[in-house]
Structure 1
C-alpha cells in the first residue's frame, strides 16, 4: 500500500453556452450535467471510504466550478473544502474569447503565438507543474498527519494544470497537443508516494465516464 495518495480531480462540466475559453473568469458555474458529475464523484469517494480508504483532506481551486465540484465530496466525507490558489486554472491570453481560426488570425494575437512549446499565450507549463506539485506535496503531508500511513487527499483543479503535472510525473515532454489530453471532466489523476514523499506511481480513472457522452469539450485553458 502506498504511504499516501493525492487524487487530482478535474471539475465537472461548466455552463458555457457561448463556448468561450473561460479560464479564470468569475461566474462560470457547473451545468446541470456538471452537478450530476460532481454528485457521482461524491458517491465514488464515499464508496471508497466505506471500502477502507483513509480520505482525510479535500482541497479545491478558488474558481466557482471547482468549489461546486468539491461540494458533494465534502458532504459525503464530512470534510471541509480548503481552498488553494496554487491549483487554479492556467493564465491564458485568450480568456473570454472563442478560440477559432478566425480569431487566431487577428494581428493582435500574433505575438502570443510565437512559441507553442512554452506556451507563449499563457502561463508556462513548467510553472504550472511547479505550483501544482507544491500543493500536492502539502496535501500529501496534511493527509498523512491526519490519517497516518495510507492516507489520501483530493484536490479539485483544472484540465491543463492537471495534465501538465501528469506529463511531468511520467517524465514526458510538457509541450503537447491539447486535443490529446487524457483528463476528462471529473476524471481522477492519482499520484502515489512513499514514506519519503517520493512519487511512486500515476493512475488515471473516469468514475463518471457514462456522463461524458454529449458533454462540452471546450477547455478552460
Structure 2
C-alpha cells in the first residue's frame, strides 16, 4: 500500500515591502495576510475529510509557516525536505519591475540569454527531477492516506508541466499556482497524474503582493 493522494500546497503571501525577488534569501516570513491564506489551505484540506499522514515543507521560513496550520489541524509535525525548496536565482534581492528593475540593467543581460534553460537560475529539468523524486518518496513513505508537501510556485508548476507532458520552458506569467493553492496528485494506471487544483485563498488575493517568486 502507498499514499492515496499527494497535495502540493504553495505558501501564502510573504512580507515583502521592498517588492524584491526573495528566492532562497532567509527571513522572508509570511505577512498577516499570508498567515490567513495558509489557514484557508488547512481548512480546505480538513473539509475534504481525507486522512493526512505526513506534512512536509521546504526548509524556507515561508513554507514552514504555511505548513504549520496544516500540521496542527491533523496533529502532525512539520517535516523538512530540501528537495522541494525554491530554485536558485541570480536576481535574488533585486526588484524585477519598475524604473530600477534588474531587467533594465545591462550588467544582468548575460543572465537572460537562454530562457529555455533558464540561464538565470537552476535548470527547469533539475527542478522537475528533484520535485518528482521527493513526491515519489513521499508517496511510498506511508501505507495509506495522503501526504501534503508545502513548496513554491515554480517547483509546483514544474511538476504540473512534467506530468502533463508539456515543455518545461514557459512564460512565468502563465503559471496557474496561486498563493496557498493546492494541486492534488494521485496514481492512475502506471503513473502519477494531476487530479485537481484548488484556490482556497482566492477571496484574499485581491490585495496580495506576489512579486517574489522566481
Q: Identify the TM-score tier after normalising by the shorter chain.
A: over 0.9
RMSD across aligned C-alpha pairs, in angstroms? Answer: 1.7
Instruction: Quote the Cα distance in structure 2 between the aligned partners of 1:3 and 1:57.
Output: 10
Which residue matches 1:206?
199
**1:3 and 1:195 in contact (8 A); partners too:** no
Instruction: Quote the Cα distance in structure 2 between the aligned partners of 1:78 and 1:205.
Output: 23
TM norm structure 2: 0.93
- Runs (4+) off by over 4 Å: none
Question: What is the aligned length?
Answer: 211
Structure 2 residue 151 is the aligned partner of structure 1 residue 157: yes
Q: Per-residue deviation at 1:3?
A: 6.0
Which residue matches 1:113?
112
> Where do residues 68-147 of structure 1 align in structure 2 (5 Å cutoff)?
68-100=65-97, 102-143=101-142, 145=143
> Which whole-Å deviations, capped at 9, do the CAs of 1:183-219 have from their partners, x for residues lacking one?
00000111111486x2144421111211111111213
Q: Per-residue deviation at 1:54?
A: 1.9
Change in CA separation of 1:3 and 1:156 when aligned onto 2, cut-off 3 Å? closer
TM norm structure 1: 0.90
Instruction: Quote the Cα distance in structure 1 between the aligned partners of 2:41 and 2:147.
Output: 14
Q: Provide the secondary structure at the position in 2 that maps to 1:129.
A: helix
Structure 2 residue 161 is the aligned partner of structure 1 residue 167: yes
> Which whole-Å deviations, capped at 9, do the CAs of 1:22-74 have from their partners, x for residues lacking one?
000000000010010111122222222xx3x1211110000000000000011
1:189 to 183, 187, 192: 183
